[in-house]
Structure 1
Amino acid sequence: MLEILQNIFTSNQFIPHGHCYLWKPGLVGLNILSDSLIALAYYSIPLLLVTIVRKRGDLPFDWIFILFGTFIVACGTGHLLEIWTLWHPIYWISGLVKALTAIVSVATGIVLMSLIPKILTLPSPVQLEEANRKLEKEIEKRYLVEEKLQLAMDNIPQFLFWKDRNSVYQGCNRNFALAAGLNNPDDIIGLTDYELAWKREESDFFRQCDARVMERDTPEYHIIETQLRADGTEVWVDTNKVPLHNAEGNVIGILGTYEDITARKLAEQELQATVAELRALFAAMSDVIIVMDAKGSYLKIAPTNPSLSYKPPIELLGKTLHDVFPKAEADAFLGNIRRALEQRQMVNTEYSMIIGNNEYWFANSISPIQEDSVIIVARDITERKILEKELAMREQLLNLFITAAPVGMCILDDQLRYLQVNEALAETICGLDVERFIGRPIGEVIPHVAPLIEPIYRRILTTGESVLNVEGCSEKAEQPGVMCHWVASQFAIPGEDGKPMAIGAIVADISDRKRAENALRQSETELRKKNQQLEHTLQELQRTQEQLIQSEKMSSLGQLVAGVAHEINNPISFIYGNLTHVSEYTQELLSLVCLYQQHYPQPSAEIETLSEELDLDFLAQDLPKILSSMKNGATRIREIVLSLRNFSRLDEAEVKAVNIHEGIDNTLLILQNRLHSQALAWEKGGRHAEIKIIKEYGKLPPVKCYAGQLNQVFLNILTNAIDALDMKAGDWGQETRDWGLGTGDKGQGTGDWGQETRDKGLGKSPSNSQFPIPNPQFPIPNSQSPIPKIRISTEFQGNDWVVVRIADNGCGMTQEVRRRLFDPFFTTKPVGKGTGLGLSISYQIVKKHGGILQCVSAPTQGAEFVIRIPIQQKVGIGNC
């Protein structure tokens, strides 16, 4: 080590002056590296100093750092030039840089020497920490004071705020901030009244008050004003404002406080209203209110003009009771007053007084108000006293009525205990004394009746509903074997709340009536038997009468038809026989006239004139037509006469196999006039309707029957059908409505009405053809058609029966009418339009034939008559 040091510091290792050391690379490198690092350090230090100065703008003597930086940069530049001059001999520049460095360093040293006293006065870090600790304690103490002050301001019930000279808010407590719509009191700093929740008018008023207080330098207290809060509610506030001064005594703002007096304002308004109401009440009330002292002196009287005062109030004030009333009455009043004062509670009394010529009753309430004074409220109870007297009289009359009533009466409480019972119930019906009932329950007094009536009474107490006319039978309590029949009506007696509080019962002894009823019942049974016998006899007489009428009608009809047929046949035969000759003669004459016209085309003027007047050409064309029409008419008359004979069957009085279809067709021919008249009636009504006859004939075998009688049945039923269509004629014509028949007219209907022709083979039985006829589904098919129709259908059932159905879509009938439809003399037609025997006789005719006649109908749904007769008749059915 010593050797190394000797080698380093020995002179042999150093280059002599005037020699260059570039020839030693190690030495060159050492100098370059050292100078470079020194220059780098010198350049870095100024940068750090500049950064510190810029970051810490509060450092004192910041310019000294810049001076130090300049000195250090010059030093670093000198070391760089040392490296540069190894190869470039710029020694003058290097010398100038060193000179500059020397100048800067000297200047820096001089400046530092002048700053040493100031630098020594700067506090040390320890002193700074101590100062910081003291400052922090002071700040904390002030923060605590401010916090307590803010806490106190936030918790006082008043609203506190302060403003500057321009009425700009500088602070407030929390209550004021919340009222202004702010969450934090600090948020109000810098705001004005116009920026808060107040109304524009309120803000103007606030600022006017602020300006007045600050200009006059005079506080203003109890400013009553309204304020609209942030939540939309408007309140009344009592505001105080005082001016704030600085140290020189100048006004720098105002301090304001206010409190919410809305409740007080409302209370004042309510108090004013109450006072007004009390004044009106005292003015309108009929009671007399008097304030007296312990000596009975009148202190106050309200109202001042009562009509029921013993004397005018102005004459009573200041006087005593002994000055107004006689001594006895005054002593009594004064005693009540003293008793109220001694007991310190209200004393109620009633007394009468003569005022004028009338007696009045008063109810007095004497209440102490102070130790030596009372308030007396006197109310007129004259009417109540009169009512009480009347009520007592009515109660006495009611008790006498209940006691003397011939029927039993009693009243029970809600526990079913007897409160009142009269003798009629106790002794006559129950066989007990009245005293046995009062205050005792039902089960204890009459246990044998209790199970029957106790449930009824309890139900009345629960529901409040009366139970009337309950009949019963019971044995008298102390009279074994003696039964009493009675009828009772029980009812609830409501209390003031309307709920049942008691039960009243009225019980009547009906033993005599029951005995009379039993006797009457026996007589009624005997009378009913006799009535049944009379009804049976009457029915037989009615049937005989109907048979006689029918026989007479048929006999008369036969004679009439025979006479008509005889009288009409001869002239009709004469006319019909001669029509052939008339036609031949007419044709010959016309041929002759035609021949004349051919051979003499130019006749004389007289013939020409007569031909034109007679219109010979038209006469030649129309005359054959007229003769043809006369022949058709005569043929029609012969057919009608034949139909009349067939209808009456004068030549067929015995049972005979006939064609049912022929009888129906003959009946329709007889009624052709009715059908035509009906069609004309509809046509005149503007409806252009025509009764449409729909025939749905099945294949029927000959039926053995009285043909004339069956024809009478067909005639009666078809006549009724036409009448029903006539009654409903006013309803036809609503042609735009589809009532269910439109498709039937086209051959596409549904059910029994749509098909105008259908095959009804022998043995084929439709579904609704068995008897009795089940209830049909209404409406009857096509019953609401705008076209009046009568449907006639026949069918053969079960090889033994023939069924004929005649249905119309007329007005129908009610169930009551249908029930009495076949009763003798029952009719719904006007007087003179029907006898009420047609359907009854028809029913008897069908019944005598061993068949059934039934009707299916409903109002507005039409009607259908069903005739069911056997094809073979029993022997000896006789005439109908």
Structure 2
Amino acid sequence: MHPFAASSPLSPASDQAPLSNDFLSCVINGLSDPVFVKDRQHRWVMLNDAFCTFIGRSRTELLGRTEYDFLPTEQAQTFWERDEQVFITGTQSEWEEAFTDQRGITHIISTKTSLIQNAHGEAFLVGTIRDITQRKQTEEELRQSEANQRVLLSALPDLILRMTGDGTYLDFIPTETFHIFGSADLVGTSIHGSLPPDLVEQRLAYMRKALETGKLQVYEQDIQVNGEIRTEEVRITVSGDNEVLIIVRDMTERKQAELALERLKDELEARVEERTQALQESEARLRALVDNLPFGCWACDTDSRHIMQNATSIKQWGNLIGKRPQDLDLPPEILTKWLANDARTLAGEVLHLENEYEQNGETRIYQTILAPIQTEDGICGLLGVDIDITEQKQNEMALRQNEERLRLVLQNMPVMMNAVDADGNIIVWNSESERVTGYTAAEIINNPQVMELLYPDKEFRELMLAEANKRGSSYRNWEQNIWCKDGSVKTILWSNISAQFPVSGWAGWSVGIDISDRKQAEIQLRASETQLRQQADELNHALQELQRTQTQLIQSEKMSSLGQLVAGVAHEINNPVSFIYGNLNYADEYIQSLLNLLQLYQKHYPNPVAEIQVESEALDLEFVMSDLPKLLSSMRIGAERIEQIVISLRTFSRMDEAEMKAVNIHTGIDSTLMILQSRLKAQPNRSKIAVITNYGDLPLVECYAGQLNQVFMNILVNAIDALEDAESRNCQPGWQPTITICTEFVPQDQLSGTSGTRSSSRLPFIRIRIADNGPGIPASVQQRLFDPFFTTKPIGKGTGMGLSISYQIVTERHGGILECVSEPGEGAEFRIEIPISQSTS
């Protein structure tokens, strides 16, 4: 049996029977990649068949030996140092390098190594090797092909552009015969800054036609350059998804040969002078730009010696001016890779690299671009750019997760919502759109005839599309008719704000509200100015409701994230506390046994040797023997306290009870109070807030437990804020800030309330009353207490959404009542009444 056969990851023991060595050997030998295992002396103790074939030696020759027995000393030393780093640090390692086998063939290999331990705690290094020679050759061929194509394109006399469908430059191969409006560097800029407006509209129209039909578009344009009309031929063809290739050829000389030849001399002289001045200005701007770039920028000569480095690069890596990679204290594999990349760049390649580095105790991700510096005499060095993309990578992951949640919300929001791609195809059609029109998402999404389906009247459709193009992607409250599946025509109020809030993958998106009923009322009461104002108010109210819904969705997402965070923290605390608490009994037993044994020694050997007596007095043995059990008791009390706090956190977050279920309301209130203990305790500026609970005999209540906990939290926090404010302003002698919580079972016929929505069910209800003895709430404030964004707290302390969301949770989600009863100077009481079952409410 191999010494590592019983090794496994550091995880709880499994009840499954261990796999046999023969079975494990068959599995490892069945792998196509070479696999090896080394002991702490770097000797091979296990190899698969693929490794033996890769090395060109038999398993018998290799087992128990090291690289030094088969490889050149320098190469063996490199392998040994890398593996030793894994043994020392325990971290996984991965690198690429060239390797020459026994047949003299050089391979590019990728090696991964990591550390494992067997049941005896012995460390072993496990490694896998993958031959990536073919992949590297393919990448090199692709890079060379791209470089060759760019050289060919740069030799053409035509202006070659690559743009997105909305007119953004992706690539630009200039020629001296064309004038560029605006900046000379067009990549990343819009077509609107490089052409006159009339030519921009013409260019965009032909680009859209090319993208729609997939066919080559050819047209001629006259453009005024330096007071002269130039005739150009423009060819547009589709080169990718929402991307076109544009070739512009100057046709002026062919059509006006005699006049063009006469003017050419003066024009060229003017252009030379203009270009000379522009180059001088560009050089000055470039110097200032490099010095102020927000990313690292540096340059090396052909010996890889740094000859330029901006401030950001010096901050990232230190001052490297005058230094070569060989002058730095680098691991051999890093130095080898660095020099190899420099060699490839000096050979003419442009490299795009992405690497992770440890800086100041954290992992940072950098995107590095290496490009050769070309002169008339050839390549004289290389230019490097280091861009810190750590936050970008983290944000990309978070955005992908949030995007999925947002799509779910948008799909089920109570307003119509649709989105289109760059080709004009509808790619989002939510449930409200299905309800209003009768057309399912399957009938609408990616349907090329969708416009004919929703707008069958050709004349109306053409006018509507023209108006839509005119409005673009930034408008609100556009009324438009739409034909439904049942033949009816409805009026929709559309708003499109995709220009202000673009969504990746969507060319545009809009929301709509069905206002057919309101429009019908307008037609019937057109002569009534009062009715028109009322309906305008209704429309404004609908927009406010939409904004309120959006804000509440954002708040709900925040609370969901907070719940996940609280549940995660509780889980992470619970595990180590469980380990401590579970071992306290054993520690108590072991210590009692040791103390008993020590007492027996004292009984039977009352006169120990002098050294033991001196050490006993120095230790104060009698005190330690009496204090150690007390110490363990204190640790047990502390662990139990932490366990109670963890239970309260998990109860409050209710991450395992996202759906409606029957729960104990008192447990939710107690967990909320536990979380607020730090605010209830005495503070430097106020006394302790007393909490009095008077719980009635309540049955289990069917509800959304996490949402009700949020209601309790909002009301209790407001009560604490009110008590703190009252004590800071005017504290009467002997006044004790107090919060009283009462619960009781209430039959249906005894329910009271004016603020909530009463259910028609005869099911019994419960009532929860949370009262404080603070300053009370004025009647004028009570009228707006549950309005969104209404708050009496200072700026930065309250958002005005807590009680509004609480009101919705109680009334809409649970069919209950939330009301406030208060008189100035008499404190405030919030009453919550909800049915014990939601099955028919």
Give 1 or 2: higher helix fraction: 1
Query: What TM-score results when the alignment is normalised by the length of structure 2?
Result: 0.34
Give 1 or 2: higher strand fraction: 2
Larger radius of gyration: 1
